[in-house]
Structure 1
Amino acid sequence: MNVRSHVIANAAISPYRKGEIPLASEFIHSLPDDSVTLLDKGFFSADLLLHIQNESANRHWLIPERKGLVYTELKRYGEGDRLLQMTVSPQARKKNPALPEQWQVRAVSYEVAGKEKTVFTSLPAARFSAAQVSALYHERWEIELGFRDIKSAMQHNAMTLRSKKVDLVYQELWGLLLGYNLVRREASQAAVAHLRAPNEVSFKFACQFIANQLAIMAGALSPSHTQRRLNELRGCIGSMFIEKRPRPSRPRAVKISKTRYPVDRKAAPLK
C-alpha cells in the first residue's frame, strides 16, 4: 500500500500454510525505483531485505529492530545513528547460497514517550538524517488505516465474509480490493485537484457518495455524459476532507475473553 495515498499497489491471497515472507518476496519485482518499503518486524529477513535493495536502482527499506540480534558496530554517524554488521544465518545461506556471510544495516535510535525505539534501514546517512528516518517509519501506520477502511466502511465491521466456498472467498476478497482502489483513486485525484494530500479525504464518506452516484449514473445518464458527471463527482469529493490529528498512544493490552457468563467487575476478591 502506498502510505501517502492509501492505494493498494499489490496484494496476494493464499492459504494460511504459506507464510508472509514468501508472499512478500513475490512483490519485490513490482517495487518501483526511488522508493522506501516500510515493513513491520515480522518481515525481518536478510534474504528479503537484501533482495529489496539490490535488485533495482535506489530502492531502500525500513524496519523495526529485532531484539536479541548479535552485531558489531562499525561506525557511528552521530547520536543514536550507527552502522552495524551482522552475520547471515547458515539456514538463510542454505536456502539462498548467493547471500553474503556478512551484511550491514544502519541503526537509528530515538525516544518516544520516554522509551527508546530503534529501526534498521538501508537509507544512507549521507542523504537522510536520523530525524528523517525516525519520522518516516511512523508513516507505516497509514497502512493500518487503509485496512480499517476496508473492514469498517466497506464491510461494516463484519466478522466474516459472505462467501462459503474457497473460490468465492478469493473472488470476494479481490472484489473488495478492487472496489477499495477505485474509491481511493477517485479520492486521490480529487485531493490533488484541491492541492491537498490524498489521505486527507474521508474514505467512508467518499465510498458512500461514489456508490450512490454510480447507481444514479448507471440508470439516468447516457454514456456521453459520463465524463462530465465524473468531473462533478470529483469536485464533490473535494469537500470531504478530514482534519489530520496526531494518533494517540494506546499501549497494547490483552482484552478480556468473551464469555457467555456475566462478569462482575466490582466483585470483591476471593479470600
Structure 2
Amino acid sequence: MKVVQKITSPLDCPAFIAAHRQNPQDFTRRRQLTFKNLVLFLLNQPRTALQTELDQFYRVLNQASTETQMVTAQAFCKARKKLNPEVFESLNRLLQQQIDCFGLRQKWLGLRVLAVDGSTVHLPLESTMATFFGSHSGFPMARLSTLYEVADGQTLHSLIVPLTVGERDCAHLHLEHLPADSLTLFDRGYPGHWLFALFAQQQRHFLMRLPCGYNAQVKAFLHSGQVEDTQLFVANHPEARLFCSEAGVDPASQIELRLIRVELANGESEVLLTSLLDREAFPAEVFAELYHRRWGIETDFRRLKQTLTLDNFSGRSVTAVKQDFHAAQLLKNLALLMQHLLQPVIEQRHKGRKLRWKVNFTQGVSRLKNTLVELLVRHCAQGLSNVLALMAKSLSAVRSGRSFARQRKRAASRGCEGYKPTR
C-alpha cells in the first residue's frame, strides 16, 4: 500500500504538476479534468469509446451508483494536449525507487539481470504520424525500445521514437539508466565496439550473442573448438572507428572480453560475448541458461501489444501516442509488481502440485480496470486485499522447456480503426 501512496502523492504537488504540463497556464483552473484525474484516466487504459470510458471513470471516481456525463470526449481530447507524456516516466521512476527501497529485487550471482530489445508498433493512419515517426510499407510506424528487469518483468526505461532511430541508438539512450550492480543481455543485433567501450567506460557488465561471422576473431574461435577464451577486441574497421567517435569513446581503445561457445540442441553452435572475465565466479556453463532468460523481454512486448492492445491508441496525435505508450508501461509494471508479491503465496499454496503456477497476466490486468482508480485515490487496504485475492485465484501453469517453431498462420491484421469494441 505504501508503494501505491508514493505513486499518487506527486499528482497533487504543484511542483510536479508544473514540471509535467506543456504550458505554464495549463491546469491552473479547477475543472473536472484536473491534472490528477487526467493521469488516472489514461492509466486506466481507455480502449473503448472515449465517452463510455469517461462516464465509467467518473462513476468510479465519485462512487456514484449510475453513470452520468461529467466530461465530454471533446473536453478530454482538449485537456490531454496540456499533459506532458513524461509524467508516466516520472511516476515509473518513483515506482522503481520504491521497489529498490523495499528490497524486492532478485539477483543472479550478485548481479541484477537486465535485457534490452526493440520492436515496432503500428500507429493511427494520420499524416502527422508518418511525418513524425516514419512509415513502413505505407503504414505509420514507430520504434519501441525497453530496458527490462528479467527477474520481475519491470520496465526500467522505455522509448518510443521515429523509425530512423536504430535499435543500437536506443541502447545508447538506455545506458544512463543501468544500475551499478547489473548485467545487461543483448541479442545478436546489438554488438559493436562502441557499445563494448561504453560499458567498459561506465563500469557496467553485459552478455550478448554474436553473429558467427562477426569478425575474424569470432570465426577463429569457432574453428578452434574451445569452449571459452579471453581476447582483446579493437575497432579495426573505419566504420567501427567512426561509430566510436560519434559515441564519445576512444576508437583506439582495446577491450578485454570473454568469448563463450554454447552448443544448441540441434547441433549448431552460438557464440556469447561477455565482460564478466572471472572464470571461477562465473563459469562458462552458467551462461547458456542465463542468456535464455532474455526471452522474457520478447514476451513483454507481446503483453504490451496483445494484452494491453497498445496499437489501439486512444488518440490520433503524437502526444496521445506517447501518453498511451508510457501509461501502458506503468500499468504493466504495477500489475507485475502485484504478481511478484503474490508469487510466494501461490507457490506455498500449490507446493504439492507437479507444475509451478503463477498469476495469469491478462486476468491480473483485467482486475485492475477501474479498481486501480479506487486504489490510487482512496488507498483502501481492504480493496487492495480483494484485488490480490482475485489475482491469486486466476492462475496459469508454468511449463518450462517447451519449444515451438515460429510460424505465421495468417497475415497480420491491423483491425479497423473506425470502430471501437464495446466494454
Within 2, Cα distance between the matches of 1:257 and 1:70? 40
Comparing 94-103 and 183-192, the one that deviates more = 94-103
Q: Structure 2 vs 1, CA of residues 257 and 108 (structure 1 numbering), >3 Å: closer, same or farther?
A: same
Conservation of the 8 A alpha-carbon contact between 1:189 and 1:234: no
Comparing 81-90 and 206-215, the one that deviates more = 206-215
> What are the within-5 Å matches in structure 2 for residues 62-73 of structure 1?
62-68=207-213, 69-71=215-217
1:128 paired residue number: 282
Conservation of the 8 A alpha-carbon contact between 2:314 and 2:320: no
Conservation of the 8 A alpha-carbon contact between 1:82 and 1:108: yes
TM-score normalised according to structure 1 size: 0.77
Among candidates 94, 103, 113, match of residue 245 of structure 2: 94
Q: Indicate the SS of the match to 1:11.
A: strand
1:266 paired residue number: none
Conservation of the 8 A alpha-carbon contact between 1:53 and 1:61: no
* Structure 2 unpaired stretches of 5+: 1-147, 349-356, 413-423
Conservation of the 8 A alpha-carbon contact between 1:86 and 1:102: yes
Conservation of the 8 A alpha-carbon contact between 1:70 and 1:86: no
Q: Give 1:87 shift.
A: 2.1
2:21 paired residue number: none
Fraction of identical pairs, as percent: 23
Q: Indicate the SS of the match to 2:189.
A: helix
2:264 paired residue number: 112
1:188 paired residue number: 340
> What are the within-5 Å matches in structure 2 for residues 40-189 of structure 1?
40-56=187-203, 59-68=204-213, 69-71=215-217, 80-88=227-235, 89-95=240-246, 96-113=248-265, 114-124=267-277, 125-155=279-309, 161-189=313-341
Within 2, Cα distance between the matches of 1:106 and 1:253? 34
Comparing 7-16 and 231-240, the one that deviates more = 231-240
Within 1, Cα distance between the matches of 2:410 and 2:360? 32
For this pair of structures, how many residues does the alignment match? 244
Within 1, Cα distance between the matches of 2:408 and 2:336? 33
TM-score normalised according to structure 2 size: 0.52
Q: Give 1:195 shift.
A: 5.8
* Structure 1 unpaired stretches of 5+: 259-271
Q: Give 1:81 shift.
A: 1.3
Q: Structure 2 vs 1, CA of residues 53 and 110 (structure 1 numbering), >3 Å: closer, same or farther?
A: same
Give yes or no for the alignment of 1:26 onto 2:180: no
Per chain length, whose mean CA-contact separation is higher, i.e. which structure has more relative contact order (CA < 8 Å, sep 6+)?
A: 2
RMSD: 3.0
Tell me which amino acid in the other structure corresponds to 2:403: S
Q: Give 1:115 shift.
A: 1.6
Q: Structure 2 vs 1, CA of residues 181 and 121 (structure 1 numbering), >3 Å: closer, same or farther?
A: same
Write the deviation string for residues 140-184 of structure 1: whole angstroms up to 9, x where unpaired: 0011111111222111xx765353222211122122112212211
Q: Indicate the SS of the match to 1:9.
A: strand
Tell me which amino acid in the other structure corresponds to 2:361: F
